[in-house]
Structure 1
Amino acid sequence: MQHHVVVTNRIHDEVLARLQTRARVDMNPGLEPWSSEELGRRLRPATAMMGFMTDRIDDTLLAQAPQLRIVACALKGYDAYDVDACTRRGVWLSIVPDLLTEPTAELAVGLAIGLARHVRTGDAVVRAPGYAGWRAHLYGTGLRHATAAVVGLGLVGRAIVDRLSGFGCAQILGVDPAARHPAARNVSLDEALAVSQFVFLAVPLTPSTRGLIDAARLARARPGQWLVNIGRGSVVDEEAVASALHSGQLGGYASDVFACEDWGLPDRPRQVPAALLDAPRTLFTPHLGSAVQEVRLAIEHRAADNLLAVLEGQEPLDHINQPGLIAA
């Protein structure tokens, strides 16, 4: 049987070559994702799919792919992939659970430093006509002697704590009812927001975390707080963050993630709110958490490992479901 693999994003040549040894590969060569209609059309003859963050997989789409045996995700957070639908349809769903951890934690700390030390504003000052050297301005805040809180102590959250431990913070707080880190003192979210100068959001998007940081919590937070989000955009109310920035209640907001990217939410916004883009004291990156060359290559290889295992009649290494088995 000639296998047919759909790859929804451009991948490295060496990973593509691996897949082509076992299957005919239909790869999206561009940066823009296929529409759901286009993806459905391409999946009709497919045996396997390598998916990325810009994809949304639900039962309607799976119904158009009767031969599909695996969706191998080149990502960790799978909130836009319907696990139960895959299971009912007899389709394996696999992720890449840990290769994104270290680079994402590095970026989180980098965003915090860049935000609190006014790197974006300083860059503009140097580039402006007439720059003549140092002047006594743009004084910011450092991590040394600061209280920092990490909300979510999964792999990424724990890696952020590890890195903060080397910066001489006065204390590191952890917010997670199900996990601990020896270098962090676990507290409630309200306590963390009330006392911390830096707050790092590292939680996945779930019904309980959507809108976790809203207007009410921001109003009760420590004034002048620096908030860094590398989890999911919809974990915060972006309009409320913008309002808190404009009022001065929030010291600054840095984010690598945005609500418009949360494809699993039918009511997601279609763009970053103008109020947030126009707000002062912000620093944004376009989902660069895992955008390290060797890391992206390793992620693609791991997704390919999972995909090829199924084509060879084996279980994928990183599966998160058991096709045909679903809880009542």
Structure 2
Amino acid sequence: MKPKIVVTQPVHADVLCKLEAAGDVVMNPGPEPWDKQQFHQHLADADALMAFMPDRIDADVLRHAPRLKTIACALKGYDNFDLVACGKAGIAISFVPDLLTEPTAELAIGLAIAAGRHIVAGDRIVRSGRFCGWRPVLYGMGLHRSIVAVVGLGAVGKAIVDRLSGFGCASILGVDPHNPDPRTIPVSLADAVTRADYLLFAVPLTLQTRYLLDEALLAHVKPGVVIVNVGRGSVISEAAIAKGLAQGVVGAYAADVYEMEDWLLPDRPCSIDANLLQSAHTILTPHIGSAVASVRLAIEHRAADNLMQVLAGAAPRDVL
């Protein structure tokens, strides 16, 4: 009997054909995730699972998947997956480590420029019909001659530094005691918030990094700072950011990730802070860091290959 493969989001036809050659595939037509009952039903006799960002895997989920041998995640960050529970269940779990790096760094730069230069507000003015030619409005701040701090110098953080290097920044500060980058000036986060015109966060979510930027630290930021988050939502307190925006201390906030997405946190909020949604000084994108068509296809292929390697009796290339 062919193994059963559960895929929680629709994948490209080429990837689906690859998976169907390895087993019987049950695929969610998407884009909305299955509800808990549907998910558990599909897992009841599944041998392999291809998972995506909306999925949460913990011990309770695994109790409904007694045959599961492997989980191949078409994503990079693993904070929504209980690795200890997977290990205890003997499940090989893999992630795609590198393919998301470049497009996520690219988006971080795009968000920084859009926030600093009031691009969204400018677009609204033109579309409103009120634009009659140049006027002295929407003066902002550019990366050129600005002090930019990159918080988190893993793969994404270093790729952000790659891109910043061509903008003529006054200086690039690096905040990461574990991953120094010789192109940056190493500083503490407390030092960075007092000096930086831009704070760009590319930090994974761990017990140590939750609310790394909170209300207490925001009290010391350089007035008018632009803050960008492309790492994980709960690294930054959205409530604190909203308060900083309202007080005029934070100049702008741009994010591609949100606290509500950090599924394994039992006290996560169920929605984005309403004050962030209503602020005229926020740019909020729907987790599109890797949403480049060619990149997403490559990620799906890599995850499918990891899954098939386990079904063939081998260790997956990207096993964690």
1:103 aligned partner: 103
2:159 aligned partner: 159
| Superposition pairs of residues 93-172 of structure 1, within 5 angstroms | 93-172=93-172
Partners of 2:141 and 2:4 in 1: CA distance? 53
Q: What's the RMSD between the two structures over aligned residues?
A: 0.8
2:222 aligned partner: 222
Q: Deviations over 1:141-198 (max 9, x none)?
A: 0101111000000000000011001100011010011011121011100001110000
Partners of 1:200 and 1:98 in 2: CA distance? 19
Partners of 2:263 and 2:244 in 1: CA distance? 26
Partners of 1:100 and 1:3 in 2: CA distance? 29
**Equivalent position amino acid for 1:84 in 2:** V
**Structure 2 unaligned spans of 5+:** none
Q: Deviations over 1:81-128 (max 9, x none)?
A: 010111110100000001000000000000000000000000000000
Q: Report the Cα offset of residue 133 of structure 1.
A: 2.2
| Superposition pairs of residues 151-300 of structure 1, within 5 angstroms | 151-300=151-300
Tell me if structure 2 keeps the 8 A contact 1:246–1:280.
no
Q: Report the Cα offset of residue 267 of structure 1.
A: 1.6
| Superposition pairs of residues 8-47 of structure 1, within 5 angstroms | 8-47=8-47
Q: Count the aligned residue pairs.
A: 320
**Equivalent position amino acid for 1:86 in 2:** C
**Equivalent position amino acid for 2:54 in 1:** T
2:58 aligned partner: 58
Q: Secondary structure at the match of 1:252?
A: strand
Q: Deviations over 1:33-63 (max 9, x none)?
A: 1122221111011000000110000111111
Q: Report the Cα offset of residue 266 of structure 1.
A: 1.8
Q: Secondary structure at the match of 1:81?
A: coil
Tell me if structure 2 keeps the 8 A contact 1:245–1:280.
no
1:326 aligned partner: none
Instruction: State yes or no: 1:71 paired with 2:89.
Output: no
Q: Secondary structure at the match of 2:174?
A: strand
Partners of 2:131 and 2:165 in 1: CA distance? 37
Runs of 4+ in structure 1 deviating by more than 6 angstroms, as ranges, are none
Percent of matched pairs sharing the same residue: 54
Partners of 2:86 and 2:127 in 1: CA distance? 51
Q: Report the Cα offset of residue 210 of structure 1.
A: 0.7
Q: Report the Cα offset of residue 30 of structure 1.
A: 1.4
Partners of 1:195 and 1:36 in 2: CA distance? 46
Partners of 1:133 and 1:176 in 2: CA distance? 45
TM-score between both structures, scaled by the size of structure 1? 0.96
2:312 aligned partner: 312
